[in-house]
Amino acid sequence: MNNSHVRRATNEDQKIARRQAILDGARQLFVEADYFDVSMAIIAKRSGLAKGTVYLYFKTKEEIFLSLSTEELENWLSAFETRLREQVRPLENTEFVDILRDTFMGRHLMQRLVSLLHLVLEKNITYEEAFAFKLNLKTRMNRLSKLVEQVLPFLAEGQGFSLLSMLHCLVVGSGQMSDPSPVLKQVLEHPEMEPFRVDLEKDIFDTFSFLLEGMKSVSENQSC
Amino acid sequence: MNNSHVRRATNEDQKIARRQAILDGARQLFVEADYFDVSMAIIAKRSGLAKGTVYLYFKTKEEIFLSLSTEELENWLSAFETRLREQVRPLENTEFVDILRDTFMGRHLMQRLVSLLHLVLEKNITYEEAFAFKLNLKTRMNRLSKLVEQVLPFLAEGQGFSLLSMLHCLVVGSGQMSDPSPVLKQVLEHPEMEPFRVDLEKDIFDTFSFLLEGMKSVSENQSC
Amino acid sequence: MNNSHVRRATNEDQKIARRQAILDGARQLFVEADYFDVSMAIIAKRSGLAKGTVYLYFKTKEEIFLSLSTEELENWLSAFETRLREQVRPLENTEFVDILRDTFMGRHLMQRLVSLLHLVLEKNITYEEAFAFKLNLKTRMNRLSKLVEQVLPFLAEGQGFSLLSMLHCLVVGSGQMSDPSPVLKQVLEHPEMEPFRVDLEKDIFDTFSFLLEGMKSVSENQSC
Amino acid sequence: MNNSHVRRATNEDQKIARRQAILDGARQLFVEADYFDVSMAIIAKRSGLAKGTVYLYFKTKEEIFLSLSTEELENWLSAFETRLREQVRPLENTEFVDILRDTFMGRHLMQRLVSLLHLVLEKNITYEEAFAFKLNLKTRMNRLSKLVEQVLPFLAEGQGFSLLSMLHCLVVGSGQMSDPSPVLKQVLEHPEMEPFRVDLEKDIFDTFSFLLEGMKSVSENQSC
DNA sequence: TATGAATGAGAGTTCATTCAT
DNA sequence: TATGAATGAACTCTCATTCAT
């Protein structure tokens, strides 16, 4: 496949680029197949490196997928945060959900990775890695929570974080269903299966809209 | 040593009992360990059979866990249905959620299995198995939806099914987080991780309450 | 190599035979090559089994070589014990050494395995395995020590065991030198290397003879 | 970060010093761990050089350990030779052994390296290296043999060399046993294992004493 | 001379599944 | 029907060595 020798990553930038190349290879493969079918061997092959080289950049397969998840998650968090920062005034629930929907567009991979996180963090991960991941996530979520509480004034303090947690939960839950295996896809094409065929991305946002509406409604009733 | 073969299951009842023994063995083991640590070898040992015998009753490991999931799911669906049928009048949202919470009590295993379903249905399952599972689920959910729509009159037709889907989604999402790996458990004990340490069972029902409140509120506004 | 399926080892005898076949395969290979070149893969191939099958009989590569060592060691111990039991009267040192030499004949493999023991017991061995090996060795050596003390009356109580330990030490030490690698063999053929080319089997027995002579001489002087 | 390259060794002295630094690093590490756990990577790190640089000074890992062995062996040979040269008159066996014991003190590393030699010389060593090592050893041993024959007059010509060979053999044999792996150490702590727990350094010298005594006794009887 | 990124063969091991008995 | 020995592909990961820089 590649007779030509791989150009060596000599400086820090090149090393970062190489690391990125591995992540990108893994990402591609994960788009095409499921987690278990993405072996270290094919990640190496895809990124044009030897197996051992991949291990220079990532200690384990889990570390690759944790990094990938972090990357995709941060990407989305940034996009969402940016969109929220553009808002100077309180938002209607529908406006909020529209923004959310926008930022979710084309982030199917992120959804799948987030659904996978549990599995990945279950095995072969050190305390330090898990801790770093979670801490980073907390920091990002805290910042975002503040913003959310600003644009949705009916939220009490702390409810921003809760809302994001619920969202996370919804993403995981719907993420599992939104990428069926080939066999399942076939099953869902059967006319009898129509009720299960609903667009699950749509479902997340419908659910989330109701959720917001409910929180708002409860908050208004409490203030009476 | 080899003389102690298990008495053969000759009639249908005995075969059903044996099948059940395997499922019960697998269930026990899954309570103690995670999916990947429950091997066919120990399922066989636990149910007092030989490895080959297990394969007479289940074609694959996935089939066992699919059956187990069906069983647990049906159990819960029945319990919930029974409780709803006892109600002759419309319920308050809080009453509905209380019933839901009641039926969830002690069904931690079901939650974990439902979270696993995606993984299990992804691999090594035939069209027929997947179809049968889904069809059965649809039938049960349809029946339940009707009931739900009866006790929650603000729901439009079809919203009962949606509500159950959302619930499913919440269960999956929170199910993943509610059984962390040993390492993750340790991480969560750190003071910094307090925000992630919320009781996730509680969260499901809080979220679900808001959801219901939102649906009700929307429905009321529409009818004006 | 073997299209024909392997006949299954159904009863205990056949299983013992299969275990033996694996050991024999490993033994053959160890005769032809050194420890590190004898991989589990070729042991399996040589004994006409799949790699996984070998692992049904031995948990690790180390267990194979520990078993092999035990086997060879016991073989020699038995042979030596038998020869000593035939003696009804005290032996001259030279007679004793002659018997020893006889029983060592053709046991080159045993010498190499004993030299390897340290390496094998160093890694990947459980406490239980190591303990069982050592305990067995102790029992055998104790019994043999008694005999040795009988046929060599100048030995004080306990000196039989010491003598066997010294012998063990000599066997290990000379065992290392007696199977040079191909390169070393070539080096030793050089005329300059003549002093190193001495027959090391001979050396063991010369050394051992002096040792016995020394012990006898010391014992006689003490009794004066 | 990459600027902190090590200052280049331009003249011969510096190169010798660098070579020595590598050997010293390896020595330190070998004291702390066993041969297989001492990787080229950590030798490089310990000696403050890059992996590639180590290979400028030593072609293989084996060459490092062969050099180390040579160094330690020569050290001891020198010490022993010096001590013997101080003697103007024939020595009693016990005096000889006392000197031997003195020079062995604190040379545990040498013992372990000598025990390793077989392994190291077995693999990955060129004819030239092996030859050079052996030739050097022969020269040193020849010189020492002469001395030994002088201080122990009962030795016939050539027996000095034999005696040293026997000593070598004893050192190797006992060297293996004197540094048990952690597991083996634990096993030996068991009360049942008492007989194997003898102090092996003591054993070498006891054995060697008997050996000398035997040689002396035989020589005296022959001269009658 | 010095670097350290890249190599890649090969290691031991696991386990769902098959099939001769 | 029941067994469990046999399978073998697949797995992750290591490390002495090379060589472009």
pLDDT digit string (tens) for D3-42? Answer: 445 667 778 888 899 999 999 999 999 999 989 899 999 9
Q: How far: C3 CA to E17 C1' (Å)?
A: 20
Maximum C-alpha span of chain D: 78
Q: In terms of CA atoms, which chain D residue is nearest residue C119?
A: D176
**C and D touching (3 or more beta-carbon pairs closer than 8 Å):** yes
User: Count of CB atoms within 10 A of residue A222's CB?
Assistant: 9
Instruction: Give domain B1-58's CATH architecture.
Output: Orthogonal Bundle (1.10)
Calpha distance C211→C217 (Å, rounded): 10
The band of B5, judged by pLDDT with boundaries at 50, 70 and 90, is low
Per-position b or e across D57-79, b if 16+ CB within 10 A of its CB: bbebbbbbbbbbbbbbbeebbeb
Distance from CA of A14 to the nearest CA of B (A): 33
Which among B183, B190, B210 has the least Cβ separation from residue A211? B210
Calpha distance B177→B187 (Å, rounded): 13
User: Count of CB atoms within 10 A of residue A111's CB?
Assistant: 22
Domain boundaries, chain D: 1-58, 60-223
Both structure tokens of A14: 């090149």
Among D112, D184, D220, the residue to mutate for chain C (most C Cβ within 10 A): D184
Which among D118, D165, D196 has the least Cβ separation from residue C203? D165
Residue A5 has pLDDT above 60, yes or no: no
**Orientation angle between helical segments B108-122 and A108-122, nearest 10 degrees:** 120
The band of B65, judged by pLDDT with boundaries at 50, 70 and 90, is very high
User: Count of CB atoms within 10 A of residue A43's CB?
Assistant: 24
Averaged pLDDT, B145-154 = 95
Calpha distance A54→A49 (Å, rounded): 7
- A169 with B117: Cβ contact below 8 A: no
Neighbours of chain B (3+ CB pairs under 8 A): A
**Chain C residues whose beta carbon lies within 8 Å of the beta carbon of residue D209:** 214
Q: In terms of CA atoms, which chain C residue is nearest residue D120?
A: C181
**Residue A90: predicted pLDDT:** 93
**Chain A residues whose beta carbon lies within 8 Å of the beta carbon of residue B164:** none
**Chain D residues whose beta carbon lies within 8 Å of the beta carbon of residue C216:** 214, 217
Is the separation of the CB atoms in B69 and B175 below 8 Å?
A: no
Which among B141, B169, B187 has the least Cβ separation from residue A170? B169
Distance from CA of A187 to the nearest CA of B (A): 6
Q: In terms of CA atoms, which chain B residue is nearest residue A117?
A: B176
Which alpha helices (H) appear in C152-199, and where do they start and end? Answer: 159-178, 182-189
User: Count of CB atoms within 10 A of residue A157's CB?
Assistant: 9
Residue with CA nearest to E14's C1' atom: C52
Q: Which residues contact D204 (CB under 8 A, 6 or more apart)?
A: D104, D170, D171, D174
- D198 with C141: Cβ contact below 8 A: no
- Convert chain B into a string of H (helix), E (strand) and C (coil): CCCCCCCCCCCHHHHHHHHHHHHHHHHHHHHHCCHHHCCHHHHHHHCCCCHHHHHHHCCCHHHHHHHHHHHHHHHHHHHHHHHHHCCCCCCCHHHHHHHHHHHHCCCHHHHHHHHHHHHHHHCCCCHHHHHHHHHHHHHHHHHHHHHHHHHCCCCCCCHHHHHHHHHHHHHHHHHHHHCCCHHHHHHHHCHHHHHHHCCHHHHHHHHHHHHHHHHHHHHHHHHC
- B183 with A36: Cβ contact below 8 A: no
| A19 closest-nt by C1' vs CA | E5
C vs D, Cβ pairs < 8 A, gives 160
**Chain D residues whose beta carbon lies within 8 Å of the beta carbon of residue C115:** 118, 176
pLDDT in tens, B164-195: 999 998 998 888 877 788 888 899 999 999 88
pLDDT in tens, C171-195: 988 888 777 888 888 999 999 998 8
Q: How many residues does chain A have?
A: 224
Beta strands in A48-197 (DSSP E): none
Neighbours of chain A (3+ CB pairs under 8 A): B
**Residue B177: predicted pLDDT:** 78
Averaged pLDDT, D92-107 = 94
pLDDT in tens, B77-133: 999 999 999 987 899 999 999 999 999 988 999 999 998 888 877 788 889 999 999
Which amino acid is residue B132, in one-letter code?
A: A
Residue A182 has pLDDT above 60, yes or no: yes
A vs B, Cβ pairs < 8 A, gives 160
Which among B184, B212, B213 has the least Cβ separation from residue A130? B184
Which among D125, D180, D214 has the least Cβ separation from residue C217? D214
In whole angstroms, what separates CA C22 from the centre of its chain?
18
pLDDT in tens, C76-122: 999 999 999 998 789 999 999 999 999 998 899 998 899 888 877 77
Which among C174, C190, C214 has the least Cβ separation from residue D212? C214
> Ramachandran region of residue A48, left (φ > 0), alpha (ψ -120 to 50) or beta?
left
Task: DSSP for D150-165, please give it.
Answer: HHSTTSPTTHHHHHHH
- D169 with C210: Cβ contact below 8 A: no
Element counts in chain C: helices (H) and strands (E): 10, 0
**Chain C residues whose beta carbon lies within 8 Å of the beta carbon of residue D134:** 187-188, 193, 196
**Chain A residues whose beta carbon lies within 8 Å of the beta carbon of residue B178:** none
Q: Which residues contact B46 (CB under 8 A, 6 or more apart)?
A: B25, B26, B28, B29
**A and C touching (3 or more beta-carbon pairs closer than 8 Å):** no
Q: How far: B60 CA to E12 C1' (Å)?
A: 27
Q: How far: B3 CA to E21 C1' (Å)?
A: 14
Which amino acid is residue B20, in one-letter code?
A: Q
Averaged pLDDT, C129-149 = 94
Return the ∠ at Cα A206 (arms to A204 and A210), rounded to 5°.
115
Which 8-state DSSP code applies to residue B91? -
Distance from CA of B73 to the nearest CA of A (A): 16
The band of A2, judged by pLDDT with boundaries at 50, 70 and 90, is very low
Closest of C150, C156, C148, C199 to residue C177, by C-alpha:
C199
For chain A, percent of residues with pLDDT exceeding 70: 96
Closest of B75, B218, B82, B70 to residue B147, by C-alpha:
B82
Calpha distance D127→D132 (Å, rounded): 8
The band of A30, judged by pLDDT with boundaries at 50, 70 and 90, is very high
Residue B4 has pLDDT above 90, yes or no: no
| C38 closest-nt by C1' vs CA | E11
Q: Which residues contact A216 (CB under 8 A, 6 or more apart)?
A: A93, A152, A154, B214, B217
The band of A224, judged by pLDDT with boundaries at 50, 70 and 90, is low
**Chain B residues whose beta carbon lies within 8 Å of the beta carbon of residue A165:** 198, 203
Q: How many residues does chain D have?
A: 224
Residue B3 has pLDDT above 50, yes or no: no
Residue D93 in 3-state DSSP? Answer: helix
For A133, list phi and psi in degrees, rounded to 5. -60, -50
Distance from CA of C51 to the nearest CA of D (A): 25
**Residue A163: predicted pLDDT:** 93
Q: How far: C132 CA to E21 C1' (Å)?
A: 34
Q: Which residues contact A34 (CB under 8 A, 6 or more apart)?
A: A181, B122, B123
Class of domain C60-223: mainly alpha
Calpha distance D154→A31 (Å, rounded): 84
Which among B131, B161, B214 has the least Cβ separation from residue A195? B161
**Residue A93: predicted pLDDT:** 95
| C58 closest-nt by C1' vs CA | E13
Distances (CA, A) of D184 to C35, D170, D177, D187, D188: 20, 21, 10, 5, 6
Calpha distance C97→B63 (Å, rounded): 68
Residue B155 has pLDDT above 80, yes or no: yes
**Residue B176: predicted pLDDT:** 81
Distance from CA of A168 to the nearest CA of B (A): 8
The band of A86, judged by pLDDT with boundaries at 50, 70 and 90, is very high
- A173 with B177: Cβ contact below 8 A: no
Residue B1 has pLDDT above 50, yes or no: no
Residue D140 has pLDDT above 80, yes or no: yes
Residue C21 has pLDDT above 90, yes or no: yes
Return the ∠ at Cα C79 (arms to C140 and C86), rounded to 5°.
100
Distance from CA of D150 to the nearest CA of C (A): 19
**Chain D residues whose beta carbon lies within 8 Å of the beta carbon of residue C204:** 169
The band of C224, judged by pLDDT with boundaries at 50, 70 and 90, is low
Calpha distance D200→D103 (Å, rounded): 16
Chain E nucleotides reached by a protein CB under 7 Å: 1-21
**Residue D1: predicted pLDDT:** 35
**Chain C residues whose beta carbon lies within 8 Å of the beta carbon of residue D207:** 166, 169, 211
Residue C181 in 3-state DSSP? Answer: coil
Per-position b or e across C1-23, b if 16+ CB within 10 A of its CB: eeeeeeeebeeeeeeeebbebbb
Distance from CA of C25 to the nearest CA of D (A): 22
User: Count of CB atoms within 10 A of residue A107's CB?
Assistant: 18
Calpha distance B93→B67 (Å, rounded): 33
Residue B2 has pLDDT above 50, yes or no: no
Averaged pLDDT, A15-19 = 92
Chain F nucleotides reached by a protein CB under 7 Å: 1-21
- Convert C144-162 into a string of H (helix), E (strand) and C (coil): HHHHHHHHCCCCCCCHHHH
